[in-house]
Copies of this chain bind each other. A is one copy, B any other.
């Protein structure tokens, strides 16, 4: 490709709207441009990289035995009503009507459509197992799109769906996809962790794993045990429930005044109480009712866990007015006593020998409160957010925290969709059974951004060879110099003929401009054709290290051709 004719609008300045390196660099390197919030155009350079990542994904899917299909982007609302997600999915699901006023959605994911296909076409166990996948543009109406293509509304996704006769089959399909995902990320040159995750709006009964690219700018927090293999998204991560020594005989509850206390912080600093012994009671609106969640004063309620424990659709903190109406007091003195609503108590609270709790009247607390003795609860479980430094739930090792970019998520759906949509088959004995499903997503466009996050320096992007837009960047320093121009053109011709993807900077620009652009767009190898072209010599520069070697033109051509052919 000749750079003089290539639509590659690089930017010198960092665009003010871009907060993270990948967003800044993808804009500066002329890979993407925003159309409206969260919706991007891929320019030629960006699209080349996207296609390379797509190709890796496709190869690994095919290798794992998955078959490629293309499902419609526009789907009938009726299928979403059938699965129940018409209600559950919220505003990220873009809904509209066609000219005949039939309700439709723009697919954010395709469980319904594929299950509908399979219930019509699969009759017998002989047709199973089967894994279908597609690479497609999806739309999710994010409330706050940000970070460029990292969290966009319109994005390219690979989604796969597996269909098995039983859970053992699902385990095998899940393993195959899990391995394929590891291969994809390895081939993209990424450092990543696979973590246990909450299945969110996709749901399913069998749990899920997320593939997290490690990065400071990641929107997810992971807790990882350095001693065993435990790793989980903070939405899901557990730590061991603390063990407390025996408290012996605890005296009866005792009322005391806490004038003006509005928070755990107040109780700690103004009244000298240890947050670890305070019972923090938070009132939540859970679907159509209210629930009191009780955690330790130093812990945070994990709303994802709470939602899952209560099997709820929506969980939201109540405002102070509601709290006052329900408990008789405002923030700061709510306690677990005498509430008419359901109480959900965290394991770490249930295990406490004694603690301090609000009195459900202003400025009043009680000490010597013994859970189980002084108040009861309807539900108990792990509803707190685990933290770095806490003991691993598996082995007791000390958990560490990382930031990650979620680029993949695999789910054991079980029969959530196949039951709702009646996707059944006849087994060997002629009995009707429900298909057992899994689903598997990779954010293809997000992968591109994640690669840039892990592969850049202060000068620009440094592409791994596997996804680089070009193999080699040939840069004649001065295109008006006859010798340089001829040498560069000849290299370009030879290499292109041999199948190497070459970008030739045939622009009549100052050397500084050319070098800066080359470092910015990050082709792994730069072949710089300068003054010594007259001696038959060129410079071979690795973008990653900056290391330069002087080679004969022939040797440079041989090396570049070898890179192009993947040797």
Contacts and interface: CB of A to CB of B under 8 A. Distances in A.
Contacts of A36: 75-76, 102, 104
B69 A43 contact: yes
A96 B96 contact: yes
A113 B50 CA distance: 20
A9 to B, nearest CB: 5
Interface in A121-159: 121, 127, 130, 132, 136-137, 139, 141, 143, 153-154
Contact of A39 (B7, B41, B74, B120): B74
B72 A41 contact: yes
Interface of A: 5-7, 9, 33, 35-36, 39-44, 47-48, 50, 65, 67-76, 91-92, 94-99, 102, 104, 106, 113, 116-117, 120-121, 127, 130, 132, 136-137, 139, 141, 143, 153-154
A296 to B, nearest CB: 37
Given A41-B70, A96-B97, 9 more contacts: A9-B121, A35-B113, A36-B102, A39-B72, A39-B75, A40-B72, A48-B68, A73-B73, A91-B99
Which 7 A-B pairs give the minimum distances between C-beta atoms? A96-B96, A42-B70, A44-B67, A91-B99, A39-B72, A9-B121, A36-B76
A370 to B, nearest CB: 47
Contacts of A154: 72-74
A141 B99 contact: yes
A540 to B, nearest CB: 28
Contacts of A143: 99
Contacts of A6: 67
Contact of A65 (B5, B130, B139): B5
A161 to B, nearest CB: 11
**Residue of A72, A116, A127 with highest tally of chain B CB at under 10 A:** A72
A120 B35 CA distance: 11
Given A33-B120, A73-B154, A7 B47 contact: no
Specify which of A41, A65, A102, A137 lies most central, judged by the most chain B CB atoms within 10 Å of its CB.
A41
6 contacts: A35-B76, A39-B75, A50-B70, A72-B154, A74-B139, A106-B106
Q: How many copies does the complex hold?
A: 2
Nearest to A116: B35
Contacts of A50: 70
B99 A96 contact: no
A279 to B, nearest CB: 38
A44 B132 CA distance: 8
A136 B156 CA distance: 12
Contacts of A137: 73, 136-137
**Interface-centre pick from A70, A76, A95 (highest chain B CB count, 10 A):** A70
B96 A68 contact: no
A7 B132 contact: yes
B98 A69 contact: no
Nearest to A2: B65
Nearest to A118: B7
A5 B130 CA distance: 8
Nearest to A96: B96
Contacts of A9: 121
Contacts of A69: 7, 41-44, 47
A139 B75 CA distance: 12
Given A91-B99, A130-B7, A71 B41 contact: yes
Nearest to A65: B5
Contacts of A141: 98-99
Nearest to A136: B137
Nearest to A79: B35
Contacts of A99: 91-92, 141, 143
Given A67-B6, A67-B7, A99-B141, A41 B74 contact: no
A10 to B, nearest CB: 11
Nearest to A507: B126
A106 B50 CA distance: 22
Nearest to A58: B51
Nearest to A156: B70
Of A7, A94, A113, most B-chain CB atoms within 10 Å: A7
B96 A33 contact: no
A41 B120 contact: no
A113 to B, nearest CB: 6
Contacts of A48: 68
A51 to B, nearest CB: 8
Contacts of A41: 69-72, 113, 117
A13 to B, nearest CB: 15
Nearest to A44: B67
A141 B40 CA distance: 24
Contacts of A116: 35
A141 B97 CA distance: 10
Contacts of A68: 44, 47-48
Contacts of A44: 67-69, 132
B74 A153 contact: yes
A120 B102 CA distance: 38
Nearest to A48: B68
